[in-house]
Structure 1
Amino acid sequence: MTRLAFKMHLNEGQKQEYIKRHNEIWPELKKLLKDAGVSEYSIFLDEETNTLFAFQKVSGDGGSQDLGKTEIVKQWWNFMADIMKVNPDNSPVTIPLEEVFYME
């Protein structure tokens, strides 16, 4: 099991919309993530900076950000592009974080 963490940026004033959209996550997207080996996925918000911190446990070859070639993930990125910082292909701008401590 691999633990992955990365950060993203939420646009100002979009907290409630971001929460709403994730509370209504598409079943087919959730299934894709689970089938890809993502067993845990948490996203936290630092409201002072609008920084989103994401954490995943993954048993496959990569995390959620490695599924960008699938049509459902592309659709999700397009759906989320208006409320967060994105790349030209509408994928979220993500910054991988290095794990420097872990206590089991």
Structure 2
Amino acid sequence: MQRVCFLLKVRADRQDEYRRRHAEVWPEMLAALSDSGWHNYSLFLREDGLLVGYLETEDFDAAREAMAATEVNGRWQREMAEFFEQPEAPDEAMVPLTEVFHLA
């Protein structure tokens, strides 16, 4: 199982709405994530807008491709793009960090 961690930056003026949207993730989006191999997926938001994402998957590239092929992901990404500081779409800006330690 691959452990994947990535960082994004949420705009300071959009953090409250970002939290609200993630308290109400569409059921079809949740199903698509699970069906695409995203497991133990968590997002952590720091006060300055730093967003830390973590997930476990068999193959991150395959999981991303599977999500990209879903209609619901396209809709979600378009709606969420305005929340982020980076110019790329959120799912394209997820660059995995290098794991340097893991306590098994």
User: So what's the TM-score if we normalise by structure 2?
Assistant: 0.83
Does residue 52 (structure 1) correspond to residue 51 (structure 2)? The answer is yes
Following TM superposition, by how much is the alpha carbon of 1:82 offset from its aligned partner in structure 2, in angstroms? 1.5
Structure 2 counterpart of 1:15: 15
More helix by share: 2
Letter in 2 for 1:78: R
Letter in 1 for 2:11: N
Can you give the 5+ residue segments of structure 2 that lack an aligned partner in the other structure?
none
The alignment partner of 1:52 has SS state of strand
Following TM superposition, by how much is the alpha carbon of 1:99 offset from its aligned partner in structure 2, in angstroms? 0.6
The alignment partner of 1:103 has SS state of coil
The alignment partner of 1:13 has SS state of helix
- The 2-side partners of 1:94 and 1:57 are apart by 14
Does residue 83 (structure 1) correspond to residue 83 (structure 2)? The answer is yes
Can you give the 5+ residue segments of structure 1 that lack an aligned partner in the other structure?
none
| Identity rate, percent | 32
- The 2-side partners of 1:16 and 1:65 are apart by 27
Q: Quote the RMSD (CA, aligned, Å).
A: 1.7
Aligned residues, how many?
A: 99
